[in-house]
Structure 1
Amino acid sequence: MTMQYKKVLVAVDGSKEAEWALKKAIEVCKRNHAELVIGHVIDTRNYPTLEAYDMTIRDRAEEFAGEILNKYKAIADKEGIQAVTEIELGSPKVKITKSMAVKHNVDLIMCGATGLNAVERFLIGSVSENIVRTSPCDVLIIRSEKEN
């Protein structure tokens, strides 16, 4: 018996591991004739404190998110995979599994093993670890660039 995925969510943050996850998600979508959702969460938990010093930080975060999603969507389009993009505000640990995955009714979440926020990973655990624990569907954590 083989599992066929119909809708895949790849969570990206601009890291090299996120790009590896995107490339592997595209291959999974090709093999399964699946739809692809490329999602990014802007972590707003510290904004009230940071915006007191820099009022443009949220604008820059949204601009960065738009740039990486446009880049990743172009990669998917070039490979023949139609993708939708999604930006959400909040905690990535909550939004990926409790909001994006549910909203898009995905049956597989893919993400890199590590991302851009090494300090948070050290202090309270990684986003990918939380996705594994709280996901409503299958999860594939990408650790390597290798194609297989």
Structure 2
Amino acid sequence: MASRPTFHRILVAVDGSRHADLALASALAIAERDHARLTVMTVIPNVTESAAMAYGAGVDPVAMQGDADRAAEKIIRAALEEIPDDQPVESVQRRGHAGPEIVAQVKAGDHDVVLLGARGVGRIGSMFGSVSQHVLHHSKCAVFVAHLPEDAKADATGDGS
């Protein structure tokens, strides 16, 4: 059996979804195991007037951008609160389309592994296609996509039998 890989610079992308929570927990376990540096990132979508109009007339794109900015800040703060004090961590917020921005951060941070959730949340993020597929196809490092099984989601919400 080949020796297990060791990672040194871990990137985990968070978006507030339960899948991203699983990715964060997995990244923490790997960081602890490998004594690795952890970077937690979120991507703030650019809300343009045309994107805002997709949700109906009268939507204020400036207000939507403010909402997106505040939501991203809340998401990154919540993720950082989960990190133990003795774990080296940095946070990154990028603006744009999540897939390309995650790939750009992989390169900029010289990360050797990226973890992200299988499905994001949010009405804006869903317009841009599969983030995990983009990262899988364009990253030059190991990629792990966290996906909660359906029964785990039901058990966690109290809907399970």
Compute the TM-score of the two structures, normalised by the length of structure 1: 0.85
Deviation at 1:92, TM superposition (A): 0.8
**Ranges in structure 2 where 5+ consecutive residues have no aligned partner:** 153-161
2:13 alignment counterpart: 11
Name the Cα RMSD after superposition: 2.4
Whether the aligned pair in 1 keeps the contact of 2:45 and 2:125 (CA below 8 Å) is no
Q: In structure 1, which of residues 30, 33, 44 is the aligned counterpart of residue 32 of structure 2?
A: 30
Whether the aligned pair in 1 keeps the contact of 2:19 and 2:118 (CA below 8 Å) is yes
CA spacing shift, 1:119–1:69, aligned 2, 3 Å: closer
1:68 alignment counterpart: 75
1:39 alignment counterpart: 41
Pair 1:89 & 2:95 matched: yes
Deviation at 1:70, TM superposition (A): 0.9
2:156 alignment counterpart: none
1:20 alignment counterpart: 22
Give the aligned residue type for 1:65.
A
Pair 1:105 & 2:110 matched: yes
**Ranges in structure 1 where 5+ consecutive residues have no aligned partner:** none
1:142 alignment counterpart: 146
Deviation at 1:82, TM superposition (A): 2.5
Distance 2:122 2:139 in 1: 20
CA spacing shift, 1:40–1:129, aligned 2, 3 Å: same
Deviation at 1:90, TM superposition (A): 0.7
Deviation at 1:113, TM superposition (A): 1.2
Q: In structure 1, which of residues 132, 136, 140 is the aligned counterpart of residue 136 of structure 2?
A: 132
Identity of aligned residues (%): 24
Distance 1:34 1:118 in 2: 34
Deviation at 1:27, TM superposition (A): 0.4
Give the aligned residue type for 1:109.
V
CA spacing shift, 1:120–1:75, aligned 2, 3 Å: closer
Compute the TM-score of the two structures, normalised by the length of structure 2: 0.78
Q: How many correspondences in the alignment? A: 142
Give the aligned residue type for 2:101.
K
Secondary structure of the corresponding residue to residue 39 of structure 2: strand
Secondary structure of the corresponding residue to residue 77 of structure 1: coil
Q: In structure 1, which of residues 58, 69, 72 is the aligned counterpart of residue 65 of structure 2?
A: 58
Secondary structure of the corresponding residue to residue 95 of structure 1: helix
Deviation at 1:120, TM superposition (A): 6.9
Secondary structure of the corresponding residue to residue 56 of structure 1: helix
Secondary structure of the corresponding residue to residue 120 of structure 2: coil
